Amino acid sequence: MDQHRIGAKWVASTLLAFASLSAEALPVAINGTFHSLENVSPNSVNISSGVRQHFGAVSVLPDGSGGTTGTASQACGANLLCQNAAQGPVWTVPLAFQPFSTAPNFFSAARGAGAAPNGSWTLSFTNGGETTTAQTPSIAGATVLAHPESVSISGSGLNPSFNWLLPAGAANVDAIRIQIFDHNRVVGAGQAGVGGAGVSDIVYATALAGSATSFTVDPGVAGLKQNSLYSLEINLLDLRDPNGGAGNANILSRSRSFFDFTLLPDSSPANVFLPMVNLAGPAPIFEFQPISVEAGQQIFIDPLVAIGYDYQTGAGNPNFRTVLLPTGIGDGSYELYIWENGDWLKVADVQGGQKYDFGQIGVDRFRVLGIETGAGLAPDDPTAFITGLEFVGTGVFSGTMTAVTVDVPEPGSLVLLGLALGLLGMRRQAKLEH
């Protein structure tokens, strides 16, 4: 009886061992390898900006949650940056697993465009003792695409509409892909994103014709929520095969342009221009792509709330003529400053909803203070600070808004950093590429 039990236990343990070995060494299936040249705008989703190479596989099964790991490699050849990076004759980089909602089995990596050769990468994926390899295409002949201009949001509720203008010389735009990032969920933490902190999840993706200049969200598909922070990504795509679809495997080059937004309340203006958010410096900067303006015509711009902002025109832009600040933020009262003799000079106390006129000559910059820290920094209330602007002449506005982070009290051990950093900071602490 004891021998029977011992024999049964041996058989059972042997079967379990074989089952374990089988589970640990699954064949790896790779689908949709890609290699594209990207022009990435400043953003708050934690993807490095600049011109880069992006490479990987759209789907790998088993994926990273099933134990699969991946690398990409290629010979440095005559590429001096690659050689000087002490990579040796072959450069090998890890591929990060990023389970986006729209692409749950996604692996990728990115490098500066000049840091690696333009040739094909060899992708290797390993699960247990099983390794499968595949080749990406090259990006030889790819050109850098520009960003869209005059990007705006309109419409309250769960299905906002977005509008934009295509940049001059956009003849090689074969298609446009729209993606929406949700900052409430992070993927790739520990592997991807700036500092390995991961990036915001992609919860919505759709493709449009290359001539498209507008898009309305389908609320039944996107599932957007009030009081949540999102980033709209507009991809202008140069495709390998113009009739082959807008998937990653068919993209030769693309611009990746990010614009943060929250769903607009019912009382919002009809059309609000959105900025790119640059978090590279000590203070967040909202950078506006060129917006066509006319003398006396009011436009509305929309970053997140801060304790104050510096507004400045871009090179060659007409001066600001008037400003209209929002109501319903804190006590609705603001302090207005202009730049004079190398310093900020207070010129008025202004109520929200009250237009202030800078005069016929206008000003090239002004500062708004007086937004209470409680109104500006609540991490669960990314309220829009929609500002109306008029200009002294016709032209374009391509200026900036910089969140004011000076003269902010320090409660306990937390320094309040303006720009609703409750949200942005939480994302960067918790938080690649798609």
Residue 417 scores a pLDDT above 90: no
pTM: 0.79
More confident residue, 331 or 411: 331
Picking from 201, 170, 209, the residue whose alpha carbon sits closest to that of residue 185 is 201
Where along the chain do its domains lie?
27-135, 149-265, 275-426
Give the C-alpha separation, 391 to 397, whole Å: 9
Cis status of the peptide bond prior to 62, with omega within 30 of 0:
yes
What confidence score (pLDDT) does residue 249 get? 96
**Strand 251-261 relative to strand 149-154, pairing:** unpaired
User: How many Å apart are CA 352 and CA 264, to the nearest integer?
Assistant: 18
More confident residue, 117 or 417: 117
Residues 6+ apart with CB under 8 A from 203: 101, 102, 180, 181, 182, 185, 222, 223
pLDDT on residue 279: 79
Backbone φ and ψ for 250, nearest 5 degrees, come out as: -105, 5
Most confident of 4-13, 208-217, 260-269, 299-308: 208-217
pLDDT, tens digit, for every residue of 49-107?
A: 999 999 999 999 999 999 999 999 998 877 777 777 656 678 889 999 999 999 999 99
Output the pLDDT for position 13: 52
Q: What are phi and psi of 178, to 5 degrees?
A: -105, 130
State the Cα torsion 282-203-400-395 to the nearest 10°: 170
pLDDT digits (tens, 9 = 90+) for 154-192: 888 888 999 999 998 778 899 999 999 999 999 999 998
- In the chain, the amino acid numbered 193 is G
- Tell me the residue type at 14: T
Q: What pLDDT is attached to residue 407? A: 37
Contact between residue 203 and residue 145 where contact means Cβ atoms under 8 Å apart? no
Q: Which position has the higher pLDDT, 66 or 9?
A: 66
Share of the chain above pLDDT 70, in %: 82
Whole-angstrom CA distances from 373 to 73, 280, 419, 422, 429 are 49, 22, 10, 11, 21
The CATH superfamily label for domain 149-265 reads Immunoglobulins (2.60.40.10)
* Greater pLDDT, 393 or 89: 393
User: Residue 95, Cα to own-chain centre: how many angstroms?
Assistant: 20
Q: Does an H or E element contain 351, and which? A: strand 343-351
CB 254 within 8 A of CB 40: no
Higher pLDDT: 10 or 211? It is: 211
Token representation of residue 74: 């290629």
Looking at residue 365, its pLDDT comes to 95
Per-residue pLDDT reduced to its tens digit, 226-272: 878 899 999 999 999 999 999 999 999 999 999 988 888 777 787 88
- How do residues 105-162 score in pLDDT, each as one tens digit? 999 999 988 877 889 999 999 999 899 999 999 999 999 999 999 999 988 888 899 9
What distances in angstroms separate CA 269 from CA 102, 322, 374, one per listed residue?
Answer: 32, 17, 24
The pLDDT confidence band at residue 403, using thresholds 50, 70 and 90, is confident
Residue 309 above 90 pLDDT? Answer: no
What is the chain's length?
Answer: 434
